[in-house]
C-alpha cells in the first residue's frame, strides 16, 4: 500500500519536473527570440550589400557610396594594437595574482580594484584616454592612443580570466612538478600555463571582442570621421567600424540604408567570429582536458 503510494508520488514528481523543464525551454527560447530576430534582420538587409568591392574599396561620395575598407582595416589595427599591450601585461598580472601574490590586504585590494575597473562605463575610459594618452603623453588622436585606451579597458577581463584559468588547474600538479625537481616557474611554464591556456585564450578573445565593438573609448582618442587613405603609422588617426556605423547612421544626411546595414553586418560577423572561436576553444579544451 505505502509502496504503491510512494510509487505514485514519484510519478507525480517526475511529471512536475517534466512540466518545469518544458517551461524553462520555452522561456529560454523566448529570451533568445529578440537576439535571433535582430541577427536575422541585419543579415537579411545587409547581406546584399556585402560584395568584394564593398569590403575592399574606399568610401566615395561623402561615404554615401563605395566601400568601407578603411573602417575594417582600422578596427583590425585597433584590435591588434590592443592585443599587443593588454595580452602580455594582463596575462603576466594574472599569473602573478594566481601563482605568486601573497594572500593579504594589498592583493585583496588589487582584486577589488580590478573588478571595479571592469564595471566602469566605456566612455569614462575614453575620457581617461583623452587626458592620459592624447593630451598628457602627447600621442594625439592616434591608433596608438586608442589602442592604449582600449587596452586599459580590456586589461581587467584578461587579468581576471587568466587568474581564474590558472586557479582551476589542480594543485596536485604543482606539487608533482615540484617533487620532480621543477622550480616554481618551470612547473608553471611547462604544465600549469599550458593547461590554463584555453581559458586564458577565451578571456583574451572576449576582451578583444569587446574592444573591437566599442565606440566610446576611441571616440576622443583615435577614431576619425573620414580618412581618404589608410592610416600609415600608429600615430595616425583611423576610421573604425563601430564609430563609422555611428557616423553614417546619425551624421550623414541622405545615407543609403543598405550601406548602414552592410557596415553593421560586417561588425557583427567580426564579433561573432571572435565569440565563436572563443566558444570552440573552450569546448575543445573541456573535451581534451586530462583532469
Partner 1 sequence: MSNSKISIRNYSLRYSDGVQALKNVSLEIHANAINVLFGPSGGGKSSLLRSINRLIDLADVDETSGQILFNGVNILDKEMPVSQLRRKIGMVFSRPIPLPKSIFENVAFGLRVAGENDPAVLHSKVEEALKQAYLWEEVYDRLDDPGISISGGQQQRLCLARVLALEPEVIMLDEPTSALDPVTTARIESFLQEIKDRITVIIAPHNMSQSARVADYATFFLQGELIEVGAGSKLFVNPQDQRTQDYVEGRFG
Contact yes or no for 196/166 (Cβ under 8 A)? yes
> Applying CB under 8 A, what is the total number of residues that bind partner 1?
20
How near is the Cβ of 280 to partner 1 at its closest, in Å? 20
Interface pick for partner 1 out of 101, 182, 235, 269 (rule CB under 8 A): 182
User: Which CB, 8 or 179, lies closer to partner 1?
Assistant: 179
Q: How far apart are CA 95 and CA 228, in angstroms?
A: 43
Q: Is 269 in the site for partner 1 (CB under 8 A)?
A: no
How near is the Cβ of 191 to partner 1 at its closest, in Å? 6
Q: Is 24 in the site for partner 1 (CB under 8 A)?
A: no
Cell 574599396, residue?
57
Q: Is 14 in the site for partner 1 (CB under 8 A)?
A: no
Binding mask 185-224 for partner 1 (x = CB under 8 A): -x---xx--xx-----------------------------
Q: How far apart are CA 154 and CA 31, in angstroms?
A: 28
Q: How far apart are CA 211 and CA 218, in angstroms?
A: 9
Q: Is 58 in the site for partner 1 (CB under 8 A)?
A: no
Interface pick for partner 1 out of 132, 174, 255, 277 (rule CB under 8 A): 174
**Closest by CA position to 188, among listed 117, 263, 92:** 92
Q: How far apart are CA 94 and CA 88, in angstroms?
A: 10
How near is the Cβ of 288 to partner 1 at its closest, in Å? 9
> Which positions ≥6 away from 173 have C-beta within 8 Å?
187, 191, 192, 195, 291
How near is the Cβ of 285 to partner 1 at its closest, in Å? 11
Could you tell me the three cell numbers for 12? 507525480
Q: How far apart are CA 91 and CA 107, in angstroms?
A: 16
Q: Is 172 in the site for partner 1 (CB under 8 A)?
A: yes
Residues that bind partner 1 in the complex, under the rule CB under 8 A: 172-183, 186, 190-191, 194-195, 289-291
Amino acid at each position: 500500500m505505502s509502496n504503491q503510494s510512494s510509487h505514485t508520488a514519484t510519478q507525480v514528481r517526475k511529471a512536475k519536473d517534466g512540466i518545469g523543464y518544458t517551461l524553462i525551454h520555452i522561456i529560454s527560447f523566448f529570451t533568445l527570440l529578440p537576439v535571433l530576430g535582430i541577427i536575422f534582420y541585419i543579415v537579411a538587409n545587409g547581406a546584399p550589400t556585402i560584395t568584394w568591392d564593398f569590403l575592399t574599396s574606399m568610401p566615395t561620395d561623402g561615404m554615401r557610396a563605395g566601400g568601407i575598407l578603411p573602417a575594417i582595416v582600422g578596427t583590425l589595427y585597433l584590435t591588434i594594437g590592443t592585443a599587443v599591450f593588454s595580452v602580455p601585461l594582463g596575462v603576466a598580472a594574472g599569473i602573478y595574482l594566481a601563482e605568486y601574490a601573497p594572500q593579504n590586504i594589498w592583493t585583496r585590494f588589487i582584486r577589488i580594484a580590478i573588478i571595479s575597473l571592469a564595471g566602469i562605463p566605456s566612455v569614462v575610459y575614453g575620457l581617461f584616454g583623452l587626458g592620459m594618452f592624447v593630451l598628457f603623453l602627447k600621442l594625439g588622436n592616434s591608433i596608438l592612443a586608442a589602442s592604449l585606451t582600449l587596452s586599459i579597458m580590456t586589461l581587467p577581463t584578461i587579468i581576471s580570466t587568466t587568474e581564474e584559468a590558472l586557479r582551476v588547474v589542480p594543485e596536485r600538479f604543482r606539487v608533482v612538478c615540484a617533487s620532480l625537481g621543477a622550480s616554481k616557474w618551470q612547473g608553471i611554464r611547462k604544465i600549469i600555463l599550458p593547461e590554463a591556456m584555453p581559458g586564458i585564450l577565451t578571456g583574451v578573445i572576449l576582451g578583444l571582442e569587446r574592444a573591437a565593438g566599442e565606440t566610446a573609448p576611441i571616440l576622443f582618442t583615435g577614431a576619425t570621421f573620414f580618412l581618404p587613405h589608410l592610416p600609415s603609422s600608429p600615430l595616425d588617426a583611423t576610421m573604425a567600424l563601430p564609430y563609422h556605423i555611428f557616423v553614417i547612421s546619425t551624421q550623414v544626411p541622405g545615407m543609403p540604408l543598405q550601406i548602414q546595414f552592410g557596415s553593421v553586418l560586417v561588425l557583427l560577423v567580426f564579433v561573432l567570429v571572435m565569440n565563436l572561436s572563443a566558444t570552440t576553444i573552450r569546448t575543445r579544451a573541456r573535451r581534451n582536458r586530462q583532469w
